[in-house]
Copies of this chain bind each other. A is one copy, B any other.
Amino acid sequence: MTTTAHSEDPTAHTARTGVWFVGARGSVATTAVAGCAALAAGLHAPDGMVTETQPFAGSGLAPLSSLVFGGHDTVSCPLPKRAEELETGGVLPHGLSSAVRSELAAAEREIRTGGPLPGDTRGDEELIGAFAADLLDFARRQRLDRVVVVNVASTEPAPADPEVLPPSSLYAAAALRAGCPYVNFTPSTGLRAPALQDAVAASGLPHAGRDGKTGQTLLRSVLAPMFVQRALPVRAWSGTNLLGGGDGAALADPAAAAAKNAGKNRVLADTLGALPQGDVHIDDVPALGDWKTAWDHIAFAGFLGSRMTLQTTWQGCDSALAAPLVLDLARLLARAHEVGVSGPLPELGFYFKDPDGGGPAALGEQYEALLAFAGRLREAR
């Protein structure tokens, strides 16, 4: 057994941990697989990975080199090729896709066709069964101690009929059936479907979600508390997001955007006490590729009602923002499962717009809860 210099704890048990991506050939999953390999090989510093910082030392998290990747997807472009595309688009650094080609190929071999596919005649039960079988097969062949299922697929439209299970919930049900901890990094329904609540409760599995907080909402979760603490009433908070890539196209669907915006608004409403004036737009701008620009305009009142404003412009690569958090979450959920933590993990609200289990909306408080959770994992050893 070998651990890398980046994984902080040389005494860590070398449990083999599986990470199963729903949306395994998407930008986030590809970046996570390639990046994990690059960090394990010491090619890059672990920028953006919270679990590689000092407070997580000794928490028993799986070394990055021990993670084994697989997943479901409905598209067929293989991972090594996706990585080349991301390198050309500036998401992955120059030369990385060839440097970690073998790790990408290994993950590619563990990708199975998801569903439902166009014209698919299988019913929900059949699909759930097939997905669960894929998970169990992955764990068995790779001799994994556990597999964390992580949803990083494109955002689904908000479901019109809560009785019908959307695809994200079929995969989530399969995770339950296969006994896998589950993370929903998207605004899609996943485990939140009413029809799954009994199974969730009965499973005793840890789970976390929903909708990763990577950019505009991350900013909002530190700025909104500032206005409250300084007693500066926010009159209006408006935002525009420009993004291309798959996410831009998916969110150009108003129903998908509605799912996303619900999470964004939650942070403001929870922190400010009420949702202020202002809209949020998500525009599909293919020319921007995976690079996102988010502009926020906040109108607030100062002393004696004076009108003041703050504007923010955030320019980042969504996949590069999401991938390290996804790796963090996979490690945290695996360790939680190992030590017997079950149910929703509001302690991971730091990562989400709309946390399973609720909790505070201010990032600072969420960070304190996360550190306390790291301590709990450490003591559980």
Partner of A295, one of B50, B285, B295: B295
Q: Which residues of B contact A105 (CB under 8 A)?
A: none
Query: What is the minimal beta-carbon distance from A43 to any residue of chain B, in angstroms?
Result: 8
A320→B306 contact, CB < 8 A = yes
Complex interface residues of chain A between 275 and 291 (CB less than 8 A to chain B): 276-279, 281, 283, 285-288, 291
Q: Would you call A250 an interface residue if the criterion is a C-beta within 8 Å of the partner chain's C-beta atoms?
A: no
Closest to A310 in B: B314
Q: Which of A83-91, A173-181, A182-190, A195-203 contacts B (4 or more CB under 8 A)?
A: A83-91
Q: Which of B47, B299, B362 contacts A233 (CB 8 A)?
A: B47
Find out whether the CB atom of A277 lies under 8 angstroms from the CB atom of B287.
Answer: yes
Most chain B beta-carbon neighbours within 10 Å: one of A35, A49, A307, A321: A307
Interface presence of A305 (CB below 8 A):
yes
Chain A 123-163 interface residues, beta-carbon cutoff 8 Å to B = none
What is the minimal beta-carbon distance from A159 to any residue of chain B, in angstroms? Answer: 25
**Which chain A residues (220-243) contact chain B, with CB distance < 8 Å?**
222-223, 225-226, 229-233, 235-236, 238, 240, 242
Cβ of A257 < 8 Å from any Cβ of B? Answer: no
Contacts of A98 in B (CB 8 A): none
| Inter-chain contacts of A295 with B (CB < 8 A) | 240, 295, 297, 311
Q: Smallest CB–CB gap between A148 and chain B, Å?
A: 19
| A229 surroundings in chain B (CB, below 8 A) | 50, 350, 363-364, 367
The reply to whether B320 and A304 form a contact with Cβ atoms under 8 Å apart is: yes
A226 near B218 with CB under 8 A, answer yes
What is A's interface to B at a CB cutoff of 8 Å? 31, 35, 38, 44-50, 52-53, 87-88, 90-94, 96, 218-219, 222-223, 225-226, 229-233, 235-236, 238, 240, 242, 276-279, 281, 283, 285-288, 291, 293, 295, 297, 299, 301-317, 320-321, 323-324, 350, 362-365, 367
